[in-house]
Every structure is written in structure tokens, then in C-alpha cells.
Amino acid sequence: MNPIVRGIVPTGILLVLGLICAAGAMAQTVSQAVFLPQQYYAGDIVEARVVVRGTVVPERDATQPLPSLPWVEVIDVFIVQRADGYEVRIRFQPFFVGTRRLPPIQLGEVTIDNVSAFVGSVLTEDDAAPAGMRDQLLLPGTRLLLILIVVAAIAVPTVVFVAGDWGRRTVRHLVRWYRERIPYRRFLRGLRVLSGRIHEIDAKRFYMDLQQLTREFMDRRFHAGLRAATTGELEDRLSRIGIPEDSRERLREMFEVADLVRYANRRVSLEERTAHLEDLRVITRELHRKKTEAPHVGA
């Protein structure tokens, strides 16, 4: 064969193969491109669904990086087979406003190109110039709070002026009513503590605490002056402040038993101590009630 002919044949074969490949590549056509959502703005995540018809199958190479430009970032690409070809789904995030062509995406022998995206703007034509400064916003409820403050500033002095002596007397009465009940509340609290320890302490400690509680209560509530009084002086001092005879006798008897236990080592049972504790609770409750109904008693 002629050497010239031998050189032309391989060249012709290569040219034919190149034309065939070019024809195959040209056979891939982008027939449709749909964007979801249809209206989107800068910074939104958008999905472009591009329908590709042709004989060459697009292939996604996981090792090949996706295009990432300052004005757009391609997040991912999926390939879905359709009856009439393939659908390439491109998820991207635009950072521009207006219309721009997405960068080409190589999928094996198929190149997705000529896909234009229109990115809307939240600004209207009237918003082209910066808006002027606005007044400072108030926190929710600020106006209501200011109204309440003004009303209180007017109402409180008015009420005090109108009430006058009646208001002051009422306040003094409430303060006195509260203070008069403090000794009784402390006394009941002390009785509860002593009742809870009745199984833990001996008889001497029990009656010592019982006498101390009684002396403090009678002094604070009735000003009886029992702190330094002996048992013999007890009945006389209770009589001076108007304590009924029955209550005086029962208190004197309890103090005498307490002295015998403390100084003569008299033995008392747990039942006797419990009975004295309950008896003292009943006596003081009745005295406190009568004192509340008749404040002048024991004053």
C-alpha cells in the first residue's frame, strides 16, 4: 500500500471517531429547567430541576468538587432517571440579585450548562434610597406602666389626705393586732418543739423549758412580770393582771410539780408530762382568746 495512503487511513479513522463523540455530546440537550421555589431571594436554598434528553448517561463523580463561586454555591447534585431522559437536580444558594448563568457542571460525558437563574429582590423601586431614622421603640407594656405610675402618684396622696386620722388609726390597729399575736405564735412553736423532744430529754430539762416558755409568754402577752417571780409569788401576780382563778390554780400546780422535779428529784411519768403540756396549751389558748376580746385585761 502506498505510504501516503497508509498515513491517511488512521487519521481518517480518528476524525470519524471524534465526530461521533461530538455528535453524542451534542445529542445531550437541556429541554427544561424548573426552580423550586419559583420565587426566591439571595441566601435562599434553591433546587433547579434540569431535564436532559440524550443517549449518554450523566454520571456524578463524588470525588469531583462542585462549583463554588463568590456569588453562588452549588450544594449538591442528584441524578433521577425519567422516561424521556434524565433529570438533574441542582441545589444551590445564590448571593446575587438579578439573572446570572449557573456555572457549568460536569457529569461524566455530559455537561450541564446554559442554566440561568433569576434571583428576586425584597426591595422595591421606592426603597432604593435609605429610609430616614425612626423614633426609639418602647418595650411592650411601657405605656401602661407609665399610666399606672402616674395614677399611683396621684391616688396615693389623695387617699392619705382623705383618710386622714382614720387611715393612721387603721394602720396602728393592724400593727398592734399583729404584734399582739407574735408572743402566742412563738409560744405555740416552742410547745411543738418541746412536745417533739419529750421522749429525748429528761424530766428536769422538760420542766425547765416548760416554765421558761410559760414565763416568757405571760410577760410578753400580759406583762405579768414572771421572769424573776418565785412559784409562791406566781398566783398573786397572775391575779393582778386579771387571770381567772381556775387558770391561776392550774398554773400554780404545774409550777409546783416542776419545782419538785427540778430540786427534789421527784419522778414523773411520760403521761404526766404529756398531760401538763396539753393542760398548758388549753390554758394559754383560753387566756389569749380573752385577751384578744378584751385588750384592757392585763394592760
pLDDT, tens digit, 9 for 90 and up, residues 251-299: 889 999 999 999 999 999 999 999 999 999 998 888 888 877 765 554 4
Q: Model-level pTM? A: 0.41
pLDDT at 85 over 50: yes
Q: Distance between CA atoms of 42 and 72, rounded to whole angstroms?
A: 9
Beta bridge partners of 48: 35, 90
Average pLDDT over every residue of 205-218: 90
CATH architecture assignment, domain 30-121: Sandwich (2.60)
Tell me: the pLDDT tens digits for 45-71?
999 999 988 778 888 887 888 888 989
pLDDT at 9 over 60: no
The pLDDT value given to residue 108: 85
Cβ-based neighbours of 184, under 8 Å, separated by 6 or more: 217, 221, 284, 288
Average pLDDT over every residue of 129-156: 81
Cβ-based neighbours of 243, under 8 Å, separated by 6 or more: 222, 224, 251, 287, 298
Q: Distance between CA atoms of 115 and 81, rounded to whole angstroms?
A: 19
- How distant, in Å, are the alpha carbons of 192, 194, 276 from that of 200? 14, 10, 17
Give the other-Cβ count within 10 Å of 183's Cβ: 18
Q: Which three three-digit cell numbers place residue 95?
A: 448571593
Q: Which three three-digit cell numbers place residue 217?
A: 409568754
Q: Check if the beta carbon of residue 223 is closer than 8 Å to that of residue 299.
A: yes
Contacts by residues 59-67 (CB-CB < 8 Å, ≥ 24 positions apart)? 59/107, 59/108, 59/109, 59/110, 60/107, 60/108, 61/106, 61/107, 61/108, 64/106, 66/105, 67/102, 67/103, 67/104, 67/105
pLDDT at 239 over 70: yes
Give the other-Cβ count within 10 Å of 269's Cβ: 9
The pLDDT value given to residue 18: 44
The pLDDT value given to residue 168: 62
Tell me: the pLDDT tens digits for 150-209?
998 888 777 766 666 666 666 666 666 666 678 888 889 999 999 999 999 999 999 999
The pLDDT value given to residue 67: 87
Positive or negative, the CA dihedral 166, 169, 175, 180 is negative
Nearest to 75 by CA among 94, 99, 51: 94
CB hemisphere CA count around 131 (13 angstroms): 8
Q: Which three three-digit cell numbers place residue 275?
A: 398531760
pLDDT at 14 over 60: no
The pLDDT value given to residue 206: 93
Cβ-based neighbours of 223, under 8 Å, separated by 6 or more: 241, 298, 299
pLDDT at 5 over 60: no
Average pLDDT over every residue of 6-20: 42
Backbone phi and psi for residue 149, each to the nearest 5 degrees, phi listed first: -65, -45
Label residue 92 by pLDDT band (50, 70, 90): very high
Q: Distance between CA atoms of 286 and 250, rounded to whole angstroms?
A: 13
